Amino acid sequence: MSIRFSTSSFFGRFLNEELYSIPDIDLDFPREIRERLIERVYERYGHDHVGLVCAFATYRLRSAVRDVGKALGLPLPDLDKIAKLSEPRSVKELGKELDRIPGYASRKDAPPWCYLIELAEQLSHFPRHITQHVGGMIISSQPLTELMPLQPAAMQGRVLCQWDKDSCEDVRAVKIDFLALGMLSLVEECMELIAKAGKNAVDLSRIDFEDKKIYDMIDAGDTIGVFQIESRAQIQMLPRTRPQKLEDLVVQVAIVRPGPIVGGAVKPYVAYRQEMRDQERKQQEERTSFLPIEPQYDHDDLRGVLADTHGVILYQEQVVQVAMVLAGFTAGQADNLRRAMTRKRSEEAMATMWVDFRNGAKARGVSYEIAKTVFKKLSGFASYGFPKAHAVAFAVLAYQSCWLKYYYPAEFTCALLNNQPMGFYPNHVLINDAKRHGLLVFEPDIELSSLRCTVERFGEQEAVRIGIGYVKGMSEETARHVVLERIAHGPYRSLADFIRRVPLTLEAVENLIMVGAFERFGIGRREALWMAGLFIPSRKIGVSKKAESGRQLALPLPVEQDQVELRPMGAWEQMTADYAIIGMSPRYHPLGLLRGRLPKHLVKSTDLGKLRSGTIVELAGLVVCRQRPGTANGITFLLLEDEVGLVNVIVSVELYKQRRTLVRSEPFILVRGKLQIQQEVINVIAHEIRELEGARADFHTPDLSSMEDIFETPATQPRKLEPASHNYH
């Protein structure tokens, strides 16, 4: 079934007589296509007429601390600790931040720490460096050297305009954003994996967009790894809003954004959806016809504009339409309001717009209170809101990714791992979610692994095999060489045979051993490490022919006298090695290994739903996400993972102040708090947070200490594995 719903379009922001600047054009492409496309643009229009838009990175607290502290000669471990434990806010708050960090309050008045505070504060919002905009390109009909200042870009043959996107808009330049969208790359690779497995070809434009199984999955918040609706906030909201069709999903994609939240759109929309569900359920029980509920509107004139979003302002087009309907703005004036709200330097423009909006609303008989309320909601879009067409395109891709995850979990997970970094979660969360859905995940194997992750059959089950390109110390070139050597000259017969045929550094071989890549040869990981030390005499041996000729492996010397019996590596040691080297553990979860040593009364995440709301519970977990968004009034959200699932923990402002260092930096924590269950959404409101004693020793995770004070940002970013030729799958 193809997509068969229509969306109302409003072109007033693109087609009006007062149009000041040319509208932006945003185009999303798979990652591997984007670079080729940029090269094609240069070829088509000429290097003199094409430039990359810049962005100015300004000093915030963390960058100022690191740069100024380094210049003052302060200890780097101290600077790193301050940067990680400080809130990512204005540099003006540095003195207060030092008061909050244990051990630093007494230093701030003494040189050179007092100089750090003084000099860092002077750098607040000062440009730190110039960088490339995420996708913006300028295309001009005349040479750019005649229009704007330029500088060579990092890549040879390209130039960087020394104007940011706002300045380029002010001079009415044609700006096109060529954006790389990882999910598009994932979908393409998933289609190839499905075809390679001999399964029926899939046309994603003709799948059933009304599939109840998919919406049940979405409504349950079972969306880890999918596009746009996988974040902690989305998973919390989905069981409450329960999208039932693609139009609902369009709203869902657009509403969990800083703009709608600041504009007050989220709570009314969620309340309306819940009221609709309650009435529908009641009428089904009473076997009466369903009567739709009328949304609440701030003014009757807004009914036609906001009907699609049930009375809330959600899309950029609605900002323009509301200003025209309520305040009598022309299309040009309304679009200038939208532009002013989305720019950083807009305070004066917004003040002028408010006067015009207020006077226009008054002339149309709208009260001052209503005008002020509506304008405040519009102003929320200064924090970012979606155009409707953008939301529709993203909703379609979100549904398609859910569909692939449900019907082709192995191919989807494989493509998901191969296209990191992407989305909200680190790799270990993704594979643990896949395993909870019945998928097998295997560690790298020197005979079976390819460069990237691959799909395998294991009896009646499907599995994903981790690629050797994920192993730390293995460059893409080296990993490809390992695979090509195996294809060209046959299987590796032993560890010694592998080392003889593939010249690697000792570190790379040790990492392969530590993640179990040589277990097929019947030797333990410790024994293999010992043998590698015998076979590779120098850590400096590389991939060069000179290094290869330096080996003595060709001599038939006996090594039996050098063999020793070593204790096998335990499960905890294997698991920590996996996390340190490939960022995940296919076999183990740390909480599963710790469970036997934990107090018996601790509750697992999957048992929370069986308890009554309001129950005091204790649970332990690995922190996979930390967030303190500016829209949450100081509340901190922690996402904990145990061996069976995830749970959201809410940390109050007071508790955060008491346990700040632990909340921001400890990988394993124990939480005691009140269970809250509302509309199938489970939270634990923390009363107490403690370190999980004995869990942290020797455990290596990706850096889980960062907490961005922006909306819905992952706490970790997985290592990127560049796409490779499909010959090596």
Domain boundaries of the chain, sorted by first residue: 25-57+129-180, 60-125, 184-280+391-418, 301-383, 441-571, 590-691
Distances (CA, A) of 188 to 1, 13, 29, 638: 20, 33, 11, 33
What's the whole-model pTM score?
0.86
CA atoms within 13 A on the CB side of 571: 9
Q: What is the spatial distance between Cα 244 and Cα 240, in angstroms, rounded to a whole number?
A: 12
- Listing from the earlier edge strand, what are the strands of the sheet with 461-465? 440-442, 461-465, 454-458
Q: Mean pLDDT for the chain?
A: 84
Q: How far is Cα 403 from Cα 415, in angstroms, rounded to an integer?
A: 14
Token pair 């010249």 is found at 503
CATH number of 60-125: 1.10.10
| Position 176 pLDDT exceeds 80 | yes
> Nearest to residue 590, comparing CAs of 582, 598, 602?
598
Predicted confidence (pLDDT) per residue in 8-21, tens digit: 556 655 666 666 66
List the Cα angle 293/298/304 in 5-degree steps. Answer: 65
| 321-353 burial: b if 16+ Cβ within 10 Å, else e | bbbbbbbbbebbbbbbbbbbbbbeebeeebeeb
Residue pair 325/302 in contact by the 8 Å Cβ criterion: yes
- Report d(CA 339, CA 718) in Å as an integer: 35
Instruction: Name the amino acid, one letter, at 94.
Output: L
Residue pair 127/58 in contact (Cβ under 8 Å)? The answer is yes
CA distances from 16 to 11, 12, 244, 320, 524 (A): 8, 6, 36, 12, 73
Q: How many other C-beta atoms lie within 10 A of the C-beta of residue 526?
A: 17
Percent of the chain's residues with pLDDT above 70: 86
pLDDT range class, residue 213, cuts 50, 70, 90? very high
CA distance 198 to 207: 19
CATH hierarchy code of domain 590-691: 2.40.50.140
Partnered with residue 636 across adjacent β-strands are: 651
The pLDDT tens digits for 452-511 are: 999 999 888 899 999 999 999 898 899 999 999 999 999 999 999 999 999 888 889 999
Grouping H, G, I as helix, E, B as strand and the rest as coil, residue 302 is: helix
**What is the CB neighbour count within 10 angstroms for residue 576?**
22
pLDDT score for 547: 39
Determine the average pLDDT of the residues in 141-152.
91
CATH of 25-57+129-180, one of 3.30.70.20, 3.40.50.720, 3.30.1900.20, 3.40.47.10: 3.30.1900.20
CATH architecture of 184-280+391-418: Orthogonal Bundle (1.10)
C-alpha to C-alpha distance for 500 and 498, rounded to whole angstroms: 5
Task: Measure the CA–CA gap between 68 and 78, rounded to whole angstroms.
Answer: 13
How many residues would you count in the chain? 729
Question: Rg of the chain over CA atoms, in angstroms?
Answer: 28
For residue 53, pLDDT over 70 is answered with: yes
- Between 637 and 386, whose confidence is greater? 637
